[in-house]
Structure 1
Amino acid sequence: MGCMGTSGGRRVGRPRVVQRVESGLDPRDELLAAAAELFTTRGYAATTTRAVAERAGMRQASMYHYVSGKEELLARLLESTVTPSLTCARALLADDARSAEDRLWELCRTDVELLCAGPHNLGGLYLLPEVRTERFAGFHAVRAELKDGYRQLIAATTAGAALAKGELDLRTDLVFGLIEGVILVHRSDPERSVGEFARATADAALRIAGA
């Protein structure tokens, strides 16, 4: 791919119910993995903090040594779907040696691969009503910066340079919507190669952008 742990200062938790040394994850990442599985299979509202803790192999009380609760887990999971793509977008925006069309295609392809690479459909969590609250402002800020990266690359293409602001905003909305929606499309055909799917989506995105 052309662009491609969490930190924390909380105190060490109490012993776990079940030691999962085979996972290779630290306790906070185990909690995130458990939350990703449960939120996407049982649903966010139906998942209790006790269920997340037990799935991660620890007591519910120990869980609060690593995270504050379900909302923090959801916020971290949502941000994890965006930050790798934002890192890629920043690198591509700074790469003046390549055409804007090439860089836009690469961002689209990489973003799709990142969204489809995980074992769980985290993109579906974007639709939760809870995500609209102030608690998730960090996720929305990162997502807005990523979307602006798309807008800048579209504007830098030959076709994009000729667009009025309103048309540029519309093209950006359409391209960004396509990229974020692909995880739902890919879910209906999970056996298809992610790389093939990502390249086809990037091709379609450039046609929408007029590039």
Structure 2
Amino acid sequence: MGTPGGGGGRRVGRPRVAQRPDTGLQPRDELLAAAAELFTTQGYAATTTRAVAERAGMRQASMYHYVSGKEELLAELLESTVTPSLACARQLLADDASPPEGRLWELCRTDVELLCGGPHNLGGLYLLPEVRAERFAGFHAVRAELKDAYRQLLAATAAGSALAKHELDLRTDLLFGLIEGVILVHRSDPERPVSVFAEATADAALRIAGV
């Protein structure tokens, strides 16, 4: 084995994940950004906390000053895909002056843009088997509230108001399923313009709703 600084026998260790460029983010946000990148490119199960820490430019031990581990990062990333859409939904529900059909279309369009507009396809994390665990109950609660907002807007339309409860529930499931299904479509063609994709999806969603 060569000595340090010698010409030969350089020790070869495990390759390190490249550090992210300096972004000016706070450490916790840097960890979330690193986790978003690694979870969506390498897979959640295959990503170690050490890899996340190194990608964020810190030691693994330092990471635990900001988060408890991978599950906390995943939970926060999941909720970040839903909370902006829920805020939009609440505003649209409160806007009694606008036709419900237009408000429903706008929620669909906005939701798709939020799901597909970021640098990483975070919506793809919904498909992870780990997400079914109780640890992610917060995400599921926010998602259920968003789905209910879709239901309320659909029920307020002329077509939705004529539906029986079980029919309204079915139409809501289909509509919400279409919106979340864009995750897979976006994954297959990430270069598609998001704004065009969002509008086309909103048009299709209203046809499913019978509007």
TM-score in terms of structure 2 length: 0.89
Cα distance 1:53–1:210, how it changes in 2: closer, same or farther (>3 A)? same
Note the C-alpha offset of 1:19: 9.3
Structure 1: distance between partners of 2:163 and 2:117: 34
Q: Which amino acid aligns with 2:63?
A: M
Give unmatched runs, 5+ long, in structure 1: 1-17
Cα distance 1:48–1:21, how it changes in 2: closer, same or farther (>3 A)? closer
- Which position in structure 2 is the counterpart of 1:181? 181
The farther-off stretch of 86-95 and 174-183 is 174-183
- Which position in structure 1 is the counterpart of 2:142? 142
Q: Which amino acid aligns with 1:149?
A: A
- Which position in structure 2 is the counterpart of 1:172? 172
User: How many pairs align?
Assistant: 194
Structure 2: distance between partners of 1:197 and 1:92: 21
| 1:31 partnered with 2:62 | no
TM-score in terms of structure 1 length: 0.89
| 1:208 partnered with 2:198 | no
Q: Which amino acid aligns with 1:104?
A: L
- Which position in structure 1 is the counterpart of 2:48? 48
Note the C-alpha offset of 1:191: 2.3
- Which position in structure 1 is the counterpart of 2:153? 153
Higher relative contact order (CA 8 A, sep 6+): 1
Identity of aligned residues (%): 87
Q: Which amino acid aligns with 2:204?
A: A
Structure 1: distance between partners of 2:34 and 2:75: 14
Note the C-alpha offset of 1:121: 1.3
1:182 partner SS: helix
Q: Which amino acid aligns with 2:122?
A: L
Q: Which amino acid aligns with 1:144?
A: A
Structure 1: distance between partners of 2:195 and 2:82: 19
- Which position in structure 2 is the counterpart of 1:102? 102
Contact 2:171/2:209 (CA < 8 Å) preserved in 1? yes
- Indicate the RMSD between aligned Cα atoms, in angstroms: 1.4
- Deviations, residues 40-82 of structure 1 (Å, cap 9, x unaligned): 1111111110000000000111101100000000000000000
Alignment of 1:46-125 (within 5 A): 46-125=46-125
- Which position in structure 2 is the counterpart of 1:8? none
- Which position in structure 1 is the counterpart of 2:191? 191
- Based on CA coordinates, which of the two structures has the bigger radius of gyration? 2
Structure 2: distance between partners of 1:33 and 1:58: 13
Give unmatched runs, 5+ long, in structure 2: 1-17
Contact 2:19/2:55 (CA < 8 Å) preserved in 1? no
Structure 1: distance between partners of 2:32 and 2:72: 10
Structure 2: distance between partners of 1:111 and 1:189: 18
Note the C-alpha offset of 1:20: 6.8
Q: Which amino acid aligns with 2:148?
A: D
2:22 partner SS: helix
